[in-house]
Structure formats: structure tokens, C-alpha cells
A and B are shown apart, each in its own frame.
Chain A
């Protein structure tokens, strides 16, 4: 953080009147969120969590979390237990 990054200017980024500034911040945050979800779903699976427990922790359905992550995990050669 530089000295100019006061809380007021930080808040300014996400409340800017210019749509380009606000939308860019939203997209960057969404991409960070997606990457963190991927990281922690992988970590949970590697620690033996079932898809159901991951879904419960994320407040989504088992089906949606499985659809989003299971095929991707197989694509990079992560082994998946088929039973859960």
C-alpha cells in the first residue's frame, strides 16, 4: 500500500461513477474468488472430504460443486474416488 491508499480511495474503486472502473474491480474479485474456490476444493478433496461436505461448506448443492470441479480435476490427472 502506498500513502495515497487511504480507506476512502480504496472504497472509491468499487463505488466509482465510471462503469469501467467498477466493473473491472468486480471481474478481478470474481476471478480471485474462483481461483480460491478451486484451490480449497482441491485441498478438501486431497484431505478426503466428500463432495457433499464440500457442497455443505460452500452452501451449494452437491451436484453443482461436482459439475464444476470433478471433470476439471480429472483433466489435470487428480484421482477421484467414484463412490462419493
Chain B
């Protein structure tokens, strides 16, 4: 699936993982995809910022909502503890992997996509096709996230006062205008 993503869309995906890790969440949800889109250049980020969705506020709201839902922000500490309980020295593996393969090559525990995020990513393809595009760009990622509709990402947008139906229209209009150029 990712091989059809544009460079910007790939950057947004990587940025989502960075956001999840930075916030200490042991998964990548639609809320992290949203943060990735806001912090990446491209149509999705531009439309979001034009509608007043700021990275800082979206991040704070994400932290609040997950905390309220009782989601731990411990950076996957239970998985680390389980390994150290088995006598596996994760810190030493990390140190040597960074030294041999460069920082970022070995990430434990690497956050995995939630079901909502997986569905949103799968829907990007349909959104791109509907707009007559073969490559998946950031606007299709945002449309996929809105189409999935059940994730925390949409909930964060709603709390920030965004009308998701209007946002969808704005993204589609913007994408159509760019194609017409």
C-alpha cells in the first residue's frame, strides 16, 4: 500500500510514528496520523492549518483525550519490563544497534497501527481513486481518516471546533482546484 504514497504522504506517515513515540503511546492511532498530517507540508496540512487546527492544540487535545480514556503514555514500558524480566538487556541492544546501524534503525517497542488507523490508511486508496488520482497524497490520507470516522483523530478535530463534513468539502475542493491547474 505505502509504495503508492507520494513523498509528502510518506513523510506524514513517518511523522505520525514520531508523534506516537514522542507522546509515549505504544500504538499509532488516527490521532497520530492527524498530528503527522498537521506537521507535514502538503494539501492536508495546509487545509487543516487554514481551518485553524494548530499542531500544539491538536497535540494537547490528543494527550487529554487518551489520558481521559486511561491509555498509558509510558512508551511501552510493560513490553520493556517483560523482556528485562527474561534477562534481555534491551538498553545494551539499543546502544549497539544505534552504533552499528545508526539511530532509529532499532525501535523497541515499535508502535503498531490501531485498527482505526489501518482502516483509515486502507481508505486512502479509495479516496485517491474517487478523485481520479493514482498516487496517494496527504489529502487522501486526511479524507481516509474522515471517512473512517470512528478514531480519536476525528474526535480531536471535533473538540477543536472543526465541522468534519465542511472539512471534507474543503479538502475535496482544494484537491480539485489543484488538479485544474
**A joins B in a complex:** yes
Q: Judging by beta carbons under 8 Å apart, are B14 and A76 in contact?
A: yes
Complex interface: chain A residues within 8 A of B101 (CB): 39, 42-43
> In the complex, what's the smallest C-beta–C-beta distance from B89 to chain A, in angstroms?
8
Majority secondary structure of chain A interface residues (helix, strand, loop or mixed): helix
Q: Judging by beta carbons under 8 Å apart, are B2 and A25 in contact?
A: no
Stretch at the interface among B77-85, B138-146, B154-162: B77-85
A residues contacting B by CB (< 8 A) are: 1, 5, 10, 13-14, 24-25, 27-29, 31-32, 34-36, 38-39, 42-43, 70-72, 74-77
Q: Judging by beta carbons under 8 Å apart, are B108 and A35 in contact?
A: yes
> In the complex, what's the smallest C-beta–C-beta distance from B124 to chain A, in angstroms?
12
Given contacts A74-B3, A75-B5, contact A29 B83 (CB under 8 A): yes
Using a CB-CB cutoff of 8 Å, which residues 1-26 of chain B contact chain A? 1-3, 5, 7, 10, 13-14
Q: Judging by beta carbons under 8 Å apart, are A28 and B82 in contact?
A: yes
Give 3 closest A-B pairs by Cβ, nearest first: A75-B2, A28-B82, A74-B3
A77 to B97, CA, bound (A): 20
Listed residue (B83, B86, B108) with the most chain A CB atoms within 10 angstroms of its CB: B86
Q: Judging by beta carbons under 8 Å apart, are B86 and A35 in contact?
A: no
Q: Judging by beta carbons under 8 Å apart, are B82 and A39 in contact?
A: no
| Contact count A vs B, C-beta below 8 Å | 66
Partner of A25, one of B10, B82, B105: B82
> In the complex, what's the smallest C-beta–C-beta distance from B86 to chain A, in angstroms?
6
Q: Judging by beta carbons under 8 Å apart, are B82 and A71 in contact?
A: no
A16 to B3, CA, bound (A): 43
Q: Judging by beta carbons under 8 Å apart, are B7 and A77 in contact?
A: yes
Q: Judging by beta carbons under 8 Å apart, are B10 and A28 in contact?
A: no
> In the complex, what's the smallest C-beta–C-beta distance from A49 to chain B, in angstroms?
15
> In the complex, what's the smallest C-beta–C-beta distance from A9 to chain B, in angstroms?
8
The reply to whether the CB of B70 lies closer than 8 angstroms to some CB of chain A is no
Q: In the complex, given contacts A27-B82, A38-B110, what are 13 additional A-B residue pairs having Cβ atoms less than 8 angstroms apart? A: A1-B87, A5-B87, A13-B86, A25-B82, A25-B86, A31-B79, A34-B110, A35-B107, A35-B108, A39-B97, A71-B3, A75-B2, A75-B3
The reply to whether the CB of B88 lies closer than 8 angstroms to some CB of chain A is yes
Q: CB-nearest residue of chain B relative to A42?
A: B105
